[in-house]
Structure 1
Amino acid sequence: MAFMIPETIHSSATAGERLFFQTLKRDLPEDYLVYYEPDIKGKRPDFVIIGPDLGILVLEVKDYTKNTLHQLNRDDWTIKTSAGDIQTVKSPLLQARQYAFHLCDLLKRDKNLVQLAGKYHGSLKFPYGYGTVFTRLKQEEFIRHDLYSVIEPNLVLCRDEIDSDEEGYSQEHLVEKLQGMMPVFYRRSERLSDAEIQAIRYHLFPEVRISAEFGEPVPYQDQLLLSLHNIKTMDLYQENLAKQMGDKHRLIRGVAGSGKTLILASRAKLLSKEHPDWKILILCYGVPLARQLHSLIEQRDKSDLNSYVNIQVYNFHAWLRDTFRIVNDDQIPLLLDKIEKKEAILPKYEAILIDEGQDFAPEWLKLVSSVLSEETQSLLLVEDRAQNIFKRKTSLNQNIGLDFRGRSKVLTINYRNTAQVVQFAWDFYQKHSVLQNKVKQGTTEGVEILPPQSTKRRGPEPMVKRFANLREEMSLVCAKVYELYHEGIPLSEMAILYRIKNSYREPYIDTIRQQLSNSNIPFYWVTENAASKRQFNRKDESVKISTFDSVKGLDFRVVFIVNLESMPFKMEENEERDVALLYIGMTRSLQYLFLTYSGNSLFTRYLDEVELRRQQGTILEQARDQA
């Protein structure tokens, strides 16, 4: 069964397109990708198929009958419309061919996808082809009406070749026919690699891009080719969800690391492309996440400078300040009262997308919904109740009037973290959260917590270590920074998280910064003040120092959590907030997680027990090995 994007075909598709869609989904290999009507730089071919042993194939689908066709040649077709009019259109094969060349030109810009030497230098490394599908004409009709004289037989699929209810239909014949649409001279023994397929998706579909590293352009045949490496794109399920999502109110609930922010950013890009006249607003709680969302939205080709200009990205309070000149939450009820009395002048947005929705107060959501266009009602809310640091206890439907029933999606797979980090963080959360009895599988209603499922990606166990003081903790941190940096991990991929800045005994943040400086390790204190948050640059080559709540939505390959005895914070009335904060901090780690402390608290006692069980397990294993 092929992977279809979108997962289902829309209701406006023709009967023939729906038939062909289902046939491809059912009968193509599982490692084939099939895109239906993708928007590729303004072009919309009917189907694009990507197969590891196939290459890229573009297909145009027509529901013509023999009575539709009036006069044909290789370039132009004169057809009779359903209204009885005579109309001249481009040959569907020529149309498919032009789409295929359009795709080819986009991909040839990347040196990693081009043959730079040999007999076919300048060509793509893999085959690409094109063809046509006639869903209401059979092969014998093509022969009888001499249609093969204007379209070669190997470039046509007829009804009896795509409909399993037709006598003589064969899955093997279908696959062979698709492969036969590729130029013979392009055949090669090696398959498209996962990296090449990811690069293809990166270039054809900018909305799925996460990041890539750009090297110096490579001069080749009077042009400069892009030199990219470490390309990262959304996974196929995330891409499908972003493209499948319908209109009106939509809710995505997902575990940490499930790609919620990526899906939201991709959805915003798609809406921008489909509706360039819309005003689109993206809101989140934290300033650093707003910066990250800016970066995701701006991830595009240099030739695409005017893309997404209709998207505004704000953290909520910056939007509140810039739009309504309000700097205090206490002023929101007064504004809502004016809105209800129709005494306020409001901006209008055709689409609003909210990240970190679990941290938005009811009044915030009421205010946001008041500036949403009544005609479009396009609102996407993304949240994870396990990361709710403000514990919103409200019903979206009853208290705010936002109805997501039947329009919700649940994401339970954690793609970000290794299996070890996922399990470690979730064990902690279940042990300490008062909401542990709210954990439910696959729910979108109420305040239930979603249990995460990890991918098969594995890594080292999180390191837990007690020290005599924070200086000793930071000595370990500095040593590990040096060690991992020399193993190839950039400083920009490391973060140090802390709960409180200082106490009456010690200025913790000064100790952290001083030892980094003494070790000549560049660092950036993200949460020093409001300006430092606004100027935060994720890619800056420095270790980031931050509180837990300011790294929501971000991730790093290496995360150090220090001074853990300050959690749960004694001045915090709601202990559950610190449970969520530490869970957030742990799940920022893509690979390495270090937890250090030098005092006693509820959390450090738990970590002491974890470390003791580990040591006992090691002793038992050694005893078994010696027996």
Structure 2
Amino acid sequence: MKRIISPPRSQLDKLRQPLTPGERVVLEFFDRHLPPQWEIYIQPHLNGLRPDFVLLNPNMGIAVFEVKDWDLDALSYEVRPREHSAPVLLGKKDGKTFSLQSNNPVEKILQYKKEIYEIYCPRLKQRAGFGLITAGIIFPFANMDPIRELFGPSTQYRSQAYQFANLHPIVGKEALDGDDITTVFPKALNGYDKRMTQDAYLDMRNWLVEPDVAAKQRQPVEIDRVQRNLVTSRTKSGYRRIKGAAGSGKSLVLATRAAELLGQGKQVLVVTFNITLIHYLMDIAVRWPQSGGKTRSDITWLNFHAWCKRVCITEGFEQDYKALFTQQHDENALRIGLPALTGRIIDMDTEDSVQRYDAVLVDEGQDFLPEWWAILRKVCKPDGEMLLVADATQDIYETAERWTNEAMKGAGFRGNWVELGISYRLPKVVQKHASNFARSFLPQESLSLPNSPQGDLGLEPCELRWLQVNEDMANEVCSEELLRLTTSGSPGTLAFADLTFLSDNRKTGYEVVKSLGSKGIKVVHTYDPNDKEQRRQKVGFYMGDARIKATTLHSFKGWESRALVIYLGNHTDAKSLALLYTGLTRVKRHPDGSCLTVVCASPALEEFGKSWPDFESKTLSIADYMTLL
């Protein structure tokens, strides 16, 4: 039987957080001495926590280990008791004393154990289930006597836990050097524990499986022949426009083209409409091996209005910038006033103090106005390069219609659009239902529907569910569905950090986040009621975060996830329908399966929902629904 190690050994040298020498010693020790049924998870994404190791055995239980490479002679350590509080870990060097309490392994490991029991394995039996979890600390390069002396006050304070030494081992280098697995992990060689159920195993495993986005970050970008040609070439004029259906690789081409140009020593500006899309593009660009540099730092990545603000502030027009938002409605200021001010500033710049670029690349171009494009052209160097990618089918801001043939001629383009027609992202069953939705509900003249690759059999499993609800039930049903996915083990290798919730409005989204939070489920989201804080949340939103993701349908444009729960309220206007189509096309195929659930409160879409493989109506009153929970 081959042991499961995640991430696999072949990927360990590519981890963003490299293994320390001590962690490598411990990994080799566990792999040598543990029976093969014990699965080893390295630095797992655990609801925002990152323990060094978690061990999982479907027949025996769970273990979490913290590894400390500390040299107790290199720094003076002290654990000082405090009244009515846990003892504090202090360090002292060059006469200065400082707190290391946030890194106190005794406190940290007990926190891991408590959360595993209370949150990640909700179906473990009360009290008895707690004994299934071992929480250990390993010092690979320190002797046991000074370790015992140093942490004596901490273990004494936590005596209720540490009276069970077999469940809370603390070991030094002697145990590792002596290949003493039963001292390091007393339950390692036990064969069976009836308290460990299949439900508990699946609950824990879904928290431990490496998120898809983390694994992808270590792999080179995969592109087809047509995409590669677009990435590695330019037109004679330097202007190129690309359109294509959802999942056809438009953003992939743009991000890798940016990285390719960086490798050629070019100065590159990448502009989006959505703030949140920036991280996604950066995650693609870093995977292009020909970049020749640091794509995150050496390419300028900004959303359009942030770029406008930067020009205003750096050129000394801060007061004019602020005045825009006191004299005009914010929407008018962003749509008209700020771009116009930015254009005037660039026109007045006779000394080239405004940053110019060899290439300006614009993603989600259907969300831009032609006037914005014209302003960006002003900062493209002579003989530079401009790229616009778009999908009019995802026109949620109703701006695509402004891009008339006449406007295109005045924007520097010649010839036809380059069209990408093959969708590599969408599972075949999702492609079918998304296309049916577009044909039924979206303007036919702007449709750009995805096609499957030639020979695609659509063998990857994909779970599709449609839940029809009343609006007053949205919070409860969405929360219930997210929790169902965290305990169902379907898909079997779904990592919770890959789970994404999308809402058409911030209010419902915020209520769902609070509901999950009350159950201990941590979520990175962009729903804060405060607009300024929401903007900060968008800047910090990225798929590599170790928590469940939650944002609006607007903010997830251009992104992808293998596990989506989408909420749409009681709306059937053109914008809401375009939003739902955008959401449907965000799901990504995966060899081990993907899942998409729509929670819909619009009666006008119920008949469409009934065409899905799994349809359920929950249109009860909130009082009736609560009695069923």
Distance 2:404 2:362 in 1: 13
Choose which of 362, 369, 383 in structure 2 pairs with 1:375: 383
Distance 2:535 2:500 in 1: 19
Instruction: Letter of the 2:402 partner, please give it.
Output: T
1:425 has 2:430 as partner: no
Q: How does 1:166-565 map to 2 (within 5 A)?
A: 213=215, 233-247=222-236, 248-274=238-264, 276=265, 278-299=266-287, 306=294, 310-325=298-313, 326=321, 328-329=333-334, 330-337=337-344, 346-376=354-384, 378-392=385-399, 393-395=401-403, 398-399=406-407, 401-406=410-415, 408-433=417-442, 435-436=443-444, 438=445, 448-455=446-453, 456=456, 457-458=458-459, 459-460=461-462, 462-467=464-469, 469-470=473-474, 471-484=476-489, 487-502=492-507, 508-528=508-528, 529-562=534-567, 564-565=568-569
Match of 1:596 in 2: 599
Does the CA-based 8 Å contact 1:212-1:230 persist in structure 2?
Answer: no
Kindly state the Cα deviation for residue 397 of structure 1 after the two structures are TM-superposed.
Answer: 5.6
RMSD (CA atoms): 3.4
Kindly state the Cα deviation for residue 294 of structure 1 after the two structures are TM-superposed.
Answer: 2.2
Name the SS of the counterpart of 1:405 in structure 2.
coil
Does the CA-based 8 Å contact 2:609-2:615 persist in structure 1?
Answer: no
Match of 1:607 in 2: 609
Kindly state the Cα deviation for residue 496 of structure 1 after the two structures are TM-superposed.
Answer: 0.7
Distance 1:238 1:303 in 2: 16
Greater length-normalized contact order (CA 8 Å, ≥ 6 residues apart): 2
Instruction: Letter of the 1:517 partner, please give it.
Output: G
Kindly state the Cα deviation for residue 566 of structure 1 after the two structures are TM-superposed.
Answer: 3.1
Distance 2:213 2:467 in 1: 34
Name the SS of the counterpart of 2:397 in structure 1.
coil
Name the SS of the counterpart of 2:562 in structure 1.
strand
Instruction: Letter of the 2:267 partner, please give it.
Output: K
Instruction: Letter of the 1:487 partner, please give it.
Output: G
Kindly state the Cα deviation for residue 498 of structure 1 after the two structures are TM-superposed.
Answer: 0.7
Distance 1:520 1:485 in 2: 21
Kindly state the Cα deviation for residue 553 of structure 1 after the two structures are TM-superposed.
Answer: 1.1
Distance 2:302 2:480 in 1: 38
Does the CA-based 8 Å contact 1:565-1:603 persist in structure 2?
Answer: no
Runs of 4+ aligned structure 1 residues displaced above 6 Å come to: 228-231, 300-304, 341-344, 611-615
Instruction: Letter of the 1:566 partner, please give it.
Output: N
Name the SS of the counterpart of 2:235 in structure 1.
coil
Distance 1:491 1:607 in 2: 26
Instruction: Letter of the 1:414 partner, please give it.
Output: S
Distance 2:215 2:611 in 1: 42
Gaps of 5+ in 2: 1-10, 15-211, 314-320, 323-332, 529-533, 589-593, 618-629
Distance 2:613 2:214 in 1: 38
Distance 1:301 1:395 in 2: 35
Distance 1:475 1:614 in 2: 14
Pair 477,294 (structure 1): closer, same or farther in 2 beyond 3 Å: same
Pair 344,451 (structure 1): closer, same or farther in 2 beyond 3 Å: farther
Choose which of 566, 571, 576 in structure 2 pairs with 1:567: 571
Instruction: Letter of the 2:585 partner, please give it.
Output: T
Does the CA-based 8 Å contact 1:283-1:354 persist in structure 2?
Answer: yes
TM-score normalized by structure 1?
0.53
Match of 2:575 in 1: 577
Deviates more, 1:604-613 or 1:282-291: 604-613
Distance 1:385 1:513 in 2: 31
Kindly state the Cα deviation for residue 286 of structure 1 after the two structures are TM-superposed.
Answer: 0.8
Does the CA-based 8 Å contact 1:211-1:299 persist in structure 2?
Answer: no
Instruction: Letter of the 1:432 partner, please give it.
Output: F
Distance 2:228 2:290 in 1: 22
Distance 1:303 1:511 in 2: 42
Name the SS of the counterpart of 2:340 in structure 1.
helix
Instruction: Letter of the 1:412 partner, please give it.
Output: G
Q: 1:142-164: CA deviations, max 9, x gaps?
A: xxxxxxxxxxxxxxxxxxxxxxx
Q: 1:512-549: CA deviations, max 9, x gaps?
A: 12332244332111343011111113111211111001
Pair 281,232 (structure 1): closer, same or farther in 2 beyond 3 Å: closer
Q: 1:100-151: CA deviations, max 9, x gaps?
A: xxxxxxx9x99xxxxxxxxxxxxxxxxxxxxxxxxxxxxxxxxxxxxxxxxx
Does the CA-based 8 Å contact 1:526-1:544 persist in structure 2?
Answer: no
TM-score normalized by structure 2?
0.53
Does the CA-based 8 Å contact 2:282-2:296 persist in structure 1?
Answer: no
Distance 2:523 2:437 in 1: 29
Pair 596,354 (structure 1): closer, same or farther in 2 beyond 3 Å: same
Name the SS of the counterpart of 1:546 in structure 2.
strand
Does the CA-based 8 Å contact 1:255-1:450 persist in structure 2?
Answer: yes
Name the SS of the counterpart of 1:477 in structure 2.
helix
Kindly state the Cα deviation for residue 556 of structure 1 after the two structures are TM-superposed.
Answer: 0.5
Name the SS of the counterpart of 2:402 in structure 1.
coil
Q: How does 1:112-191 map to 2 (within 5 A)?
A: none
Q: How does 1:607-626 map to 2 (within 5 A)?
A: 607-608=609-610
Q: 1:416-443: CA deviations, max 9, x gaps?
A: 110111111111121111x21x1xxxxx
Distance 2:254 2:298 in 1: 15
Distance 2:290 2:263 in 1: 17
Pair 546,487 (structure 1): closer, same or farther in 2 beyond 3 Å: same
Instruction: Letter of the 2:493 partner, please give it.
Output: G
Does the CA-based 8 Å contact 2:571-2:602 persist in structure 1?
Answer: no
Does the CA-based 8 Å contact 2:362-2:387 persist in structure 1?
Answer: yes
Does the CA-based 8 Å contact 2:213-2:543 persist in structure 1?
Answer: no
Q: 1:293-344: CA deviations, max 9, x gaps?
A: 2222333679966567542111111111112234732232344356567779
Judging by fraction of residues, say which structure has more helix.
2
Distance 2:616 2:522 in 1: 34
Distance 2:291 2:231 in 1: 24
Kindly state the Cα deviation for residue 372 of structure 1 after the two structures are TM-superposed.
Answer: 1.3
Kindly state the Cα deviation for residue 238 of structure 1 after the two structures are TM-superposed.
Answer: 2.4
Kindly state the Cα deviation for residue 231 of structure 1 after the two structures are TM-superposed.
Answer: 6.3
Kindly state the Cα deviation for residue 382 of structure 1 after the two structures are TM-superposed.
Answer: 0.6
Pair 542,306 (structure 1): closer, same or farther in 2 beyond 3 Å: closer
Does the CA-based 8 Å contact 2:271-2:301 persist in structure 1?
Answer: yes
Kindly state the Cα deviation for residue 602 of structure 1 after the two structures are TM-superposed.
Answer: 2.4
Name the SS of the counterpart of 1:466 in structure 2.
strand
Pair 418,321 (structure 1): closer, same or farther in 2 beyond 3 Å: same
Distance 1:381 1:354 in 2: 5
Match of 2:99 in 1: none
Size of the aligned set, in residue pairs, is 370
